[in-house]
Chain A
Amino acid sequence: MAEHMSENTIRLPDTSKLVISSSPHLHEDDSVRRIMFMVIVALLPACAAGAWFFGPRALWVLLVCVASCIASEILCTRLMGREVHVDDGSAALTGLLLGMNLPVTAPTWMCVIGSVIAIVLGKMIYGGLGYNPFNPALVGRVALLLACPTAMTTWVAPMTNHLEWAGVNSVTQATPLGVSELTAGALPFSYWNLFWGRTGGCIGETCVPALLLGGIFLIALNIIRWQVPVFYLATVALITGVTHWLAQAQCAPPLYHLLSGGLMLGAFFMATDMVTTPLSRKGAVVFAIGCGVLTSVIRIWGSYPEGVSFSILIMNSLTPLIDRWTAGKPFGTPRRAPREVKP
């Protein structure tokens, strides 16, 4: 190449617009915004399933939650006199998760209040994304659950005949977990219906295949750790399995527990929230097992039929401690005598 490059055509770089920064000068092609966007994409099948089973109002609830979360984050950052970073998608994700955790009958004002609580009291009050100790969507949901228990636990049966939009909506139905506490023994729902989500419940929590699809998508993209849902679900299965074996008449079988309530949504999308869960893989396993134990305890012995939200929030509060316990020893900290090298 040097032959046809004469001296006067050689161009030296212009150094007036150089950037200097600390190493490394390479960066993986990923960003907070992409992570949030991918989680939202992963939630869409479950949202679609919710809309299919509970009617178009489900979409309205989701939309209101997302919009009011975004609006309250913008308002809050403005009031705090900070740069608005709503484009990172975290507020939209919080809104979507909150909406998926509400019954389809939730009035609009309740959605708005839940969103404001989730963003303002769940996130911004601690300094915004990255500093919140609790999952904001769960903070919103639990606040609503405590404030308006009736509205939050009135469930409608999913539509079976999609040609009759209007008529079916008004039929109320208890959730699988509520029923299983009342009338034990015979299962009120078939596993098949539980699996597909043809039961009463929150908008986004009933359809297991849609949630699994999204969860596996996130695991494949390395956004969530497979250890969390696996250990969470396994712990619940183990504890409910043992109690079912000991007291068949009072306790539902483990598969029934796995497929019902918010467990799938919680295990794949809530207990895997990056900000509020431990940093290391070891910590994530501890966190997941803790969630599983608490969920089972609340479901079996607690006064609430469902325990996923509470268990995740309780474990959120333990995250800093788990981080400290599971802090890795630096490379070279002796655990045992160094291996002899073979000549």
Chain B
Amino acid sequence: MIKQLHFYGGIHPAEDKVAQSVPIVEPPILETYIVPLQQHIGAPAKAVVAKGDQVKRGQLLGEAQGFVSAPVHAPTSGVIREVTTCLGPSGAQVPALLLASDGEDTPAEPMPAIDWRQAPPGDLRQRIAAAGIVGKGGAAFPTVVKLSPPPNKKIDTLILNGVECEPCLTADHRLMLERAEDIVTGAQITAHILGAKTILLGIENNKPDAIEVMRQAVGDSGIKVCSLKVRYPQGAEKQLIYAVTGRKVPSGGLPADIGCLVQNVGTAAAIADAVCRGKPLYERVTTVTGTPLVSPGNWRFRVGTTYADAIKLAGGVKEDPIKIISGGPMMGMAVYSLDIPVIKSTSGILLLSQDELTQFDVRPCIRCGRCNDSCPTGMMPGILSVQIENQRYELAEKWHVMDCIECGCCAYTCPASRPLVQHMRRAKAEVQAARRAAKAKAEK
């Protein structure tokens, strides 16, 4: 067993993983699904079906446009009722297809299964791209892009992320308990594609059952299961790499720079599905939880299930929530509509009750330094936030604002309740805009 390594800084919020003992439930087929054509980072998919078309489960609805993009597949069989737009969790309108299901759930002809041990990596990459697989940890970056590192960067270590350090969320935990074999297969496929020698699986030690199940599942496959100290944000890419390998991703660099690649366990399971069963990615395990809910749990939702349907499946609410969050409580996005659909990256739907609400207050920093102590990237969020308030973005860049991973540790510990993460996001956007402008100027 690897020594319980951890990273610098971090916090330990209340875990509140109430749904961790609730097995994953397969929900019934719903009447309608609203399937966004952009469920990933990058260019939105281009619709290949039109209004009135009959589709089958798993059929291609939208094809990827460009390299950093991903196709979208039908969650069930039915009719495309409308080509429209829908609200995404970020508050922007995204193109979407309204699919009225016929209740039959007829599957489309699956892609042929591939014997991955014999197949060349190129074929496997192609399959992963065709199955529309994106990172299921939250950022939804197209997996095939991640699996195609530049030739000068050799990846020797694949790290599976089963940490699930976000409080409240239990989807990955349940997935590890229930689909351990698929996760192992997915990891082996990924390692095969990359030619990685070492596979490490990081799990926080508050999930002893998952550690046990995964240890049994890996058998003698050479995958090493690492039990990690419970500390948020243990599951952040750079922090996880440091914890399990001791390597540090250079500031401003990528894990590939030090020969590592981090993949969520959900993504690994989806890769196994795509390669061994020819099944594209149109469903995911999502935790629906929060004190206002009648019965929190974990569901295998088809993409396009609206939050309203998800909450209905969780038995509705006992009291009205004050916040609805897409994702976990530390990094999730607050949303204001129940018409938002579950997408490939929705790891959780969290409802907060009135007495769990914490308000941000725009009061001055009292320089207590707690943000400093908790920041896993070693920045000084307190000083940065004051610079950003004064719109000194170029100064913030010098003080390393671009290293911010938006984990929220600083704002969690801030006794003055300053909206520090929002300041950082704003500064990052401004610095990026300035860099783009400078680049455009240099090219001209």
Contacts and interface: CB of A to CB of B under 8 A. Distances in A.
Interface of A: 1-2, 5, 9-15, 17-28, 30-32, 34-35, 85, 127-131, 225, 274-281, 284, 323, 327-334, 338-339, 341, 343
Q: Which 3 residue pairs of A and B lie closest in terms of their CB atoms, listed nearest first?
A: A24-B408, A130-B364, A22-B422
A324 to B, nearest CB: 9
Given A23-B408, A31-B415, A274-B368, A15 B324 contact: yes
Contact of A13 (B249, B317, B360, B376): B317
A275 B368 CA distance: 7
A341 B352 contact: no
Interface stretch (B51-59, B175-183, B205-213, B335-343): B335-343
A128 B364 CA distance: 9
Contacts of B23: none
Nearest to A7: B312
B363 A32 contact: yes
Given A15-B336, A19-B334, A128-B364, A24 B247 contact: no
A28 B412 contact: yes
A341 B415 contact: no
Given A26-B13, A339-B247, A21 B419 contact: yes
B399 A331 contact: no
Contacts of A15: 324, 336-338
Interface string B241-260: 01001111111110000100
Given A23-B332, A279-B380, A279-B382, 5 more contacts: A21-B323, A28-B413, A32-B415, A130-B367, A278-B369
A17 B383 contact: no
Binding site secondary structure of chain A = loop
Query: Which of A1, A20, A277, A331 has the most B CB atoms < 10 Å from its CB?
Result: A331
B311 interface: yes
Contact of B246 (A2, A34, A339): A339
B379 interface: yes
Nearest to A282: B372
B250 A14 contact: no
A278 B368 CA distance: 9
Contacts of A13: 292, 311, 317, 320-321, 324, 338, 351
A19 B320 CA distance: 12
Nearest to B419: A22
Interface of B: 7-8, 11, 13-14, 157, 167, 197-198, 238-239, 242, 245-253, 258, 292, 294-295, 308, 311-312, 315-318, 320-325, 327, 329-338, 350-352, 357-360, 363-369, 372-373, 376-380, 382-383, 399-400, 403, 406, 408, 411-417, 419, 421-422, 425
B171 to A, nearest CB: 18
Contacts of A9: 316
Contacts of B335: 20
Contacts of B352: 25
Given A32-B366, A275-B367, A279-B383, A343 B198 contact: yes
A2 B315 contact: yes
Nearest to A278: B369
Given A1-B315, A25-B330, A333-B251, A274 B417 contact: no
B325 A332 contact: no
Contact of A24 (B14, B197, B321, B329): B329
Nearest to A327: B380
Contacts of B250: 332-334
Nearest to B364: A130
Contacts of B253: 332
Contacts of A19: 322-323, 334, 357, 359
Contact of A338 (B258, B332, B364, B416): B258
A331 B376 contact: yes
A76 B231 CA distance: 44
A128 B365 CA distance: 11
B83 to A, nearest CB: 26
B378 A127 contact: no
Nearest to B248: A332
Nearest to A11: B316
Nearest to B253: A332
A129 B417 CA distance: 15
B421 A22 contact: yes
Contacts of A332: 238, 248-253, 377, 403
B377 A330 contact: yes
5 contacts: A19-B359, A25-B323, A274-B367, A274-B369, A332-B248
Nearest to A334: B250
Given A13-B338, A332-B248, A23 B372 contact: no
